Structure 1
Amino acid sequence: MESWMGTVVYFIFILGIFYLVLIRPQQKRQKQHRELLESLKVNDDVVTAGGIFGTITRVKDNSVWLKVADKVEIEVLKSAVSSVQGTEKK
């Protein structure tokens, strides 16, 4: 009977470590990215996940328009924006 209880305690301990090392940090990163996407505004300099640098000219519900060169604008999904210039951590 004692070995069964020890196995359960050990299993719960391993799950706790797994949560603290893998799941919690991922949830924190997702929350930060969601907050970043919600705070996007016109004239922010951003970088997309594909490495495109641009300045936001319009913000829509699910996408933003980026000025990437003179007279060149592209529409990208908000979820593709990976960082705002000047706010990423080094």
Structure 2
Amino acid sequence: MFATPAFAQAAGAPAMGGPQDMLIQFLPLIGLVVLFYFLMIRPQQRRMKQHQQMLTAMKRGDTVVLSSGVIGKVVRVEDKEVGVEIATGVTVKVRKAMISDVSVRGEPAAANDTKN
């Protein structure tokens, strides 16, 4: 009864786009991936590389800060673990990955620290 051809659908339908149209559609997505790489992934890789270099350069007598905030002095360096003296006569074994900062022996103290 009301069955009429739908001429409006066929009249303004665009032709199938070529590879250029497809590239234009994916260009913002590609741009976001590149931006994400330069703002997030690359700096994190650089930080990881610096941390690994810091851990490999660690030696006996260095002062370390653990990821828990405990400060101690390195008394023994092994392959994957480090012996850290956290108090006089108290030595604990710590995984190297849990060390967040290393201060080399002989490094100058901060200006506001007073030594008695």
Superposition TM-score, scaled by structure 1 size: 0.88
SS at match of 2:84: strand
Show CA shifts across 1:28-57 (max 9, x none): 111111111111100000000011100000
Equivalent pairs, count: 87
Structure 1 residue runs of 5 or longer lacking an equivalent are none
TM-score of the aligned structures, taking structure 2 as reference length: 0.70
1:12-23 equivalences under 5 Å are 12-23=30-41
Q: Per-residue deviation at 1:20?
A: 0.5
Aligned residue in 2 for 1:79: 97
Greater share of residues in strand: 1
Q: Aligned equivalents of 2:56 and 2:82: distance in 1?
A: 11
Percent sequence identity over aligned pairs: 33
* 1:8 Cα deviation from its structure 2 partner: 2.1
CA RMSD of aligned residues (A): 1.5
Which of these two proteins has the greater Rg computed from alpha carbons? 2
Is 1:39 paired with 2:57?
A: yes
Q: Distance in 2 between matches of 1:85 and 1:57?
A: 14
Could you tell me which runs of 5 or more consecutive residues in structure 2 were left unpaired when the two chains were aligned: 1-16, 108-116
Runs of 4 or more, structure 1, over 2 Å off, are none
